[in-house]
Amino acid sequence: MPPRWPSPALTIFWRRRPRAGRGFLLLQRLDDPDLCAHLRRIAVAQPGEGLGTVLLEAALTHVFGTTHAHRFQLHVYVDNERARRVYARAGFIEDGILRDARRMPDGVFKSTRVMSILRPEWEAMQRQT
């Protein structure tokens, strides 16, 4: 469940599932004037147990069910194939690659993939289930 925060621009979800560890995600820009919410971070203690999918589904429901967002976007490192597959299964579509967009602590640059899902796409998926 999302806690209440002083600003509608940030929401944090966290979950703890028996045998599946713990995880959290951060949503930003929920009050964006362009109606574009952003998944800032998602992290799970034990990848591959399904908790990331649970968190992502909760985030999608929250973003499109409680805000006026038209677009929900995220950035994922191009070498993080596991996460890309989770996002694609949830309906996110690749918009493009930002080359050398992030500088890592060791000075190496990494590219990120921009992915998004639009409200009409999410609503169509909900009608199919």
Per-residue pLDDT of 14-51, as tens digits, reads 555 565 568 888 999 988 999 999 999 988 887 877 88
What CATH topology corresponds to 10-128?
Aminopeptidase (3.40.630)
Please give the average per-residue pLDDT across 71-80, as a whole number. Answer: 97
Q: State whether the Cα torsion 18-21-22-25 is positive or negative.
A: negative
Per-residue pLDDT of 78-105, as tens digits, reads 999 999 999 999 999 999 999 999 999 9
Q: What's the rounded Cα separation, in Å, for the pair 68 and 47?
A: 31
Q: What's the rounded Cα separation, in Å, for the pair 59 and 62?
A: 5
pLDDT at position 17:
53
pLDDT at position 33:
93
Burial (CB count within 10 angstroms: exposed 0-12, middle 13-18, buried 19+), residue 59: buried
pTM score > 0.85 for this model? no
Q: How is the chain split into domains, by residue range? A: 10-128
Where do we find the tokens 């209440």?
4
Strands 36-44 and 10-17: unpaired
Please give the average per-residue pLDDT across 103-126, as a whole number. Answer: 97
